[in-house]
């Protein structure tokens, strides 16, 4: 059995951790080629991070360097042993790769919110860029409201990596003042978050403070994404996740 190599990791999703791999530990492994008979495809990954009992491909040298992995930590193990470790989906976004998502939600009582988001991997991390915008509007004549939106970033196992700040936007009734507004907002993600993020989920609700409290509590305790989605639905909000 390969020894565990400790590298920096803030992954706390211990709920799905297998007993033989500690949640704070990662192994960087490569097969020894014993089953390939000296032939391999350059398009197939040969290097993996083993985290929480799953094997995540590292597809190119740039991704390896940008993730801050240490070449001296790579452990060569028999191909037969490597094949016993289940392959998870990719470790995170590749440089230049992006996730595009939108959520158009009816909040009740004539109130609406729509958010368009683009998460793009950069050389130093990732960025929710300027194309991210939220439109808040109401068709009621006298009843305005404040809507809230935030985004949760999650890994290949659907555990949260982190979340954005909750954005708050208010509108007035159509006979009172401004009833339709579009706001642009952005956020930079750290290299650690960007390396592990494979999905994002937009959450919206007519009560920003309740939305913030509900989502933040579950993200901080690293609850599965399905629980966060259900909790927001339980208070009357809505969500949408990327594939």
Task: Tell me the per-residue pLDDT of 11-51, one tens digit each, with 9 for 90 and over.
Answer: 333 333 323 333 346 789 998 888 766 555 444 557 888 88
The predicted structure's pLDDT at residue 191? 85
Cα atoms in the Cβ-side hemisphere of radius 13 Å centred on 31: 21
The predicted structure's pLDDT at residue 14? 33
CA angle 65, 58, 155 (to 5 degrees): 100
The predicted structure's pLDDT at residue 26? 78
Domains of the chain, by residue range, sit at: 14-83, 98-241
**108: number of Cβ within 10 Å:** 10
pLDDT-based confidence at 5, cuts 50/70/90? very low
Closest residue by Cα to residue 70 from 7, 4, 2, 3: 7
pLDDT at 98 over 60: yes
Whether 205 and 233 have beta carbons less than 8 Å apart is answered as no
Q: Which residues pair with 167 in a beta bridge?
A: 149
pLDDT at 2 over 60: no
Cα atoms in the Cβ-side hemisphere of radius 13 Å centred on 207: 11
For residues 66 and 185, which has the higher predicted lDDT (pLDDT)?
Answer: 185
Task: Classify each residue of 156-171 as buried b or exposed e, where b means 16 or more C-beta atoms within 10 Å of its C-beta.
Answer: bbbbbbbbbebbbbeb
The predicted structure's pLDDT at residue 94? 66
d(CA 100, CA 120): 9
Instruction: Please tell me the least confidently modeled range out of 34-48, 54-68, 73-87, 144-158.
Output: 34-48
Distances (CA, A) of 46 to 33, 58, 168, 188: 9, 8, 45, 30
Whether 93 and 78 have beta carbons less than 8 Å apart is answered as no
The predicted structure's pLDDT at residue 229? 98
Write down the mean pLDDT value for the chain: 81
The CATH architecture of the domain made up of 98-241 is Sandwich (2.60)
């Amino acid at each position: 059995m390969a020894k565990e190599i400790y590298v920096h990791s803030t992954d706390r999703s211990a709920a799905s951790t297998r007993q033989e791999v500690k949640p704070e530990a990662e192994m960087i492994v490569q097969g020894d080629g014993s089953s390939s008979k000296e032939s391999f495809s350059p398009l197939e990954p040969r290097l993996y991070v083993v985290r929480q009992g799953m094997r995540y491909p590292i597809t190119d040298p740039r991704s390896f360097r940008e993730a801050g992995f240490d070449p001296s930590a790579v452990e060569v193990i028999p191909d037969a042993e490597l094949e016993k470790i289940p392959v998870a989906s990719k470790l995170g976004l590749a440089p230049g790769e992006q996730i595009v998502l939108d959520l158009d939600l009816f909040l009740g009582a004539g109130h609406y919110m729509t958010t368009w988001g683009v998460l793009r991997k950069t050389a130093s991390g990732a960025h929710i860029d300027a194309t991210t915008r939220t439109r808040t509007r109401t068709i009621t004549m006298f009843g305005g409201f404040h809507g809230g939106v935030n985004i949760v970033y999650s890994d290949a196992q659907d555990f949260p990596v982190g979340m954005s700040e909750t954005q708050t936007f208010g509108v007035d009734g159509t006979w009172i003042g401004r009833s339709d507004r579009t706001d642009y907002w952005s956020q930079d993600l750290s290299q650690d978050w960007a390396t592990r993020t494979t999905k994002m989920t937009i959450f919206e609700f007519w009560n920003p403070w309740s939305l913030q409290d509900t989502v933040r509590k579950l993200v901080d305790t690293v609850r599965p994404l399905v629980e966060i989605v259900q909790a927001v639905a339980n208070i009357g909000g809505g969500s949408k996740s990327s594939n």
